[in-house]
Every structure is written in C-alpha cells, then in structure tokens.
C-alpha cells in the first residue's frame, strides 16, 4: 500500500535473514533521510494509548493490531468520492475506460504508470480535492485525533487504490506479507488507515492482516533476525518460513472485510498485505490510504521537507512525519501533469495537516 508497494525484487543468499524484498532502490522513489525525533520520545508519547481501556475500536487495535471503524464516512459520501476517483482515472485522454464494462479494463485505458500496480500516487493525485476532502472527513480525522489524543496532526500524502477485478492483461500478485516499521522502532510509531469507498466481501480483495502479530514484532526481530540484518528502513517483507513463525505463535490470517464509508486502521507493526480480488469478484475496489500522526513526532527538518513536498504536490509513503519520500511521475509517458486537476481548498486546518503551516 502507498508508495511502499512500488518495489524491486532481489535474490538473496539462503542464509540471509534480510527482508526478502525492499523498495530502497525502486524506480520512482527518492528516499530522503531527515533528522528524526528520538524513538524514545515518540514511544513515550504513544504509550499513553495503553494506559486504560477505551471501550471502543481502540481496544481492538491494541489487542489485535487492527480495527474497522464502521461508517466513518456516510455511505453516500463514500460513493461520491468513488465517482470522483473514477473521474480522475479517466482524465488522461482515456475516455474508453468504462467502469461498467470489464472489456475496457486494460492497460491502455488506464492512467499511465511505470509499474503494474493498483495504487496511484503520482500526477498530484494525492493532493486532489476529493482526496483531501475524504481525509478531512470528521469521522476519519476524528478517529486519528482520538487515537493520538491530540488535534495537532500531520497527514500522509498517500495514494489512491482502484483495483479492477479479473483484468485479462494483468497477473494476480502473490502475497507480500510485511511490516511497515523498522525493528529499531520498538513501540507504536504509526497507525495506517484505509478509507473504503466500496464494499469489500471475502472475494473482493483488500487488507489481509496477521492478527496479533504486532505483539510479536519485537520478539521476532530479537530472536529470528540477525542484528546485522536489521535496517532503519520502515519495511520488512517476510519469507514463507518467517510467516510460519507467526502462525506457529498463534497469529491468525484475517482478510478484513468492510463497507463503503468504513475506515480500517492497523498498527505498522502488524504484518499485512493487500489481497487481489478473486475470480468471483466483480467489485471495483476503491480505497484511499490515509494516515495521521502527531505533529510533534516530526523534526524541524522533516517539517521543512514536508512543506516542500506539499508545495510540489508530491505523493509520499504512508508515514506522515518520516520517510518523506517523493514519488516521481512515470518517465515513459508524455503526460506532464505535476499537480491536482482540482486543487484542495487551502484552509488553515489543511495547511497545518500538510505541514505547510506550523501549529
């Protein structure tokens, strides 16, 4: 999900315990390292979440590593955002694309991107008005304010996923179970979100999580991965054997089903991947990745970088306060779009969430 799914595959020696895949050198990704706030300070702040039960979805997030927040957006509103997303998909001179006609669901009718994935985070889409409007829906932003117990948050410039089921010209991707957090970060640093704009049943693809794996994150790295293979990069993909370790330790694979308007959240220490629709699905999966963390998690340097990225309408990874990685436009096309078709309303709140204005 997010820019993190734009990856390059490497072959490793059998004895290595390095991640089986990394996106460090992937095309289109420019990793920018900025001075970060010490992990201990972030973990001390996030530890307050665990002080007492909450009586809501936060308890499930703490226990299972993920939660579904029902009707974060009214269903009708979600459908409207989905139509906006469809409009963006058809804005590249590709009028032949018809979301009701599977015969038109092929590469030449889709937005031109380098990698055959379902996530779009270039051409300024992450800053389209409908993307910001969805992120700033009270039920979405409010959930993250509740989670972090502050209204001084930063938003990710994360992508749009439109998955056309059973495309004849694209292969179904294999599972890529992974963590989106470095083992050097032991505590809670990031909670990721999916705003669902379509209904997702068991056949429709979507997030797969390994329930409870966040609780084993530190044990796994300290007992199964050589320290010299730890990386500060916030991504670690598991081999089949490593995934089995989690299953053997009681983690259950769960395909998360949800409806249009629901917000799915998960701890970045929860092992997960995105399942493609099965051949029985006819749903056009449409989701907006959306993540918020406290502004105080970002260093001055990171905030400055974030402001620059926003002003350039760049997409990034799902991390709002770190890994401020610009997603470049594809290089093989002649599309010269560098910003949103419809710019968001630059309210005081939005500029603060974007890191373009200080709190």
Binding site residues, Fe ion, CB under 5 A: 1, 180
Output 128 or 180, the one with its CB closest to Fe ion.
Answer: 180
CB of 169 to Fe ion, least distance (A): 25
CB of 175 to Fe ion, least distance (A): 12
Looking at the Cβ atoms of 137 and 180, the one nearer to Fe ion is 180
Dihedral sign computed on CA atoms, order 96, 100, 106, 112: positive
Query: Measured from the CB atom, is 84 or 178 closer to Fe ion?
Result: 178
CA distance readout (Å), 35 to 3, 47, 49, 327: 21, 22, 25, 20
Sign of the alpha-carbon dihedral angle for 238, 241, 247, 248: negative
* 211 within 8 A of 267, measured Cβ to Cβ: no
Structure tokens given for 282: 């006819």
Long-range pairs of 328-337 with CB within 8 A, sequence gap ≥ 24:
328/28, 328/29, 328/30, 328/122, 329/122, 329/123, 330/28, 330/112, 330/113, 330/114, 330/122, 331/27, 331/114, 332/112, 332/114, 333/112, 335/92, 335/112, 335/123, 337/123, 337/124
Task: In angstroms, give the least distance from the CB of 318 to Fe ion.
Answer: 7
Nearer to Fe ion, 133 or 158 (CB): 158
Rounded to a whole number of angstroms, the minimum distance from the CB of residue 210 to Fe ion is 12
Q: Which is nearer to Fe ion, 105 or 179 (CB)?
A: 179
d(CA 102, CA 319): 34
Q: Please, which residue, 1 or 303, has the CB nearer to Fe ion?
A: 1
Q: Write down the least CB distance from residue 265 to Fe ion, Å.
A: 13
> Residue 88 or 273: which CB sits closer to Fe ion?
273
Rounded to a whole number of angstroms, the minimum distance from the CB of residue 18 to Fe ion is: 18
Residue 159 Cβ vs Fe ion, minimum distance, rounded to whole Å: 11
CA 321 → CA 80, 84, 154, 202, distances in Å? 29, 28, 7, 33
């Amino acid at each position: 999900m997010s820019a993190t799914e734009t990856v390059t595959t490497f072959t490793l020696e059998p004895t290595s315990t390095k991640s089986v895949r990394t996106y460090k050198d992937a095309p289109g990704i420019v990793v920018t390292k900025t001075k970060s706030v010490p992990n201990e300070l972030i973990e001390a702040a996030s530890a307050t979440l665990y002080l007492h039960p909450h009586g809501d979805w936060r308890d499930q997030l703490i226990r299972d590593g993920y939660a579904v927040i029902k009707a974060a957006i009214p269903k009708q509103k979600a459908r409207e955002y989905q139509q906006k997303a469809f409009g963006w998909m058809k804005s590249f001179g590709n009028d032949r694309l018809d979301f009701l006609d599977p015969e038109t669901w092929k590469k030449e009718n889709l937005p031109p991107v380098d990698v055959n994935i379902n996530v779009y985070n270039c051409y300024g889409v992450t800053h389209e008005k409908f993307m910001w409007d969805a992120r700033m829906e009270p039920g979405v932003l409010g959930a993250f304010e509740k989670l972090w117990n502050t209204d001084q948050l930063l938003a990710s410039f994360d992508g749009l996923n439109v998955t056309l089921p059973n495309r004849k010209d694209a292969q179904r991707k294999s599972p890529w179970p992974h963590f989106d957090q470095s083992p050097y970060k032991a505590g809670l640093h990031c909670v990721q979100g999916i705003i669902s704009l379509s209904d997702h049943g068991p056949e429709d693809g979507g997030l797969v999580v390994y329930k409870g794996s966040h609780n084993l994150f530190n044990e796994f790295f300290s007992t199964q991965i050589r320290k010299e293979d730890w990386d500060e990069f916030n991504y670690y993909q598991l081999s089949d054997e490593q995934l089995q370790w989690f299953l053997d330790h009681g983690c259950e694979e769960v395909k998360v089903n949800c409806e249009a308007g629901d917000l799915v959240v998960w701890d970045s220490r929860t092992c997960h991947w995105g399942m493609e629709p099965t051949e029985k699905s006819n749903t056009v999966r449409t989701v907006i990745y959306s993540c918020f963390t406290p502004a105080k998690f970002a260093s001055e340097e990171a905030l400055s970088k974030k402001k620059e990225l926003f002003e350039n309408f760049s997409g990034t990874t799902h991390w709002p306060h770190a890994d401020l990685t610009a997603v470049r436009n594809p290089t093989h096309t002649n599309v010269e779009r560098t910003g949103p078709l419809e710019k968001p309303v630059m309210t005081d709140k939005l500029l603060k969430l974007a890191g373009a204005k200080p709190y």
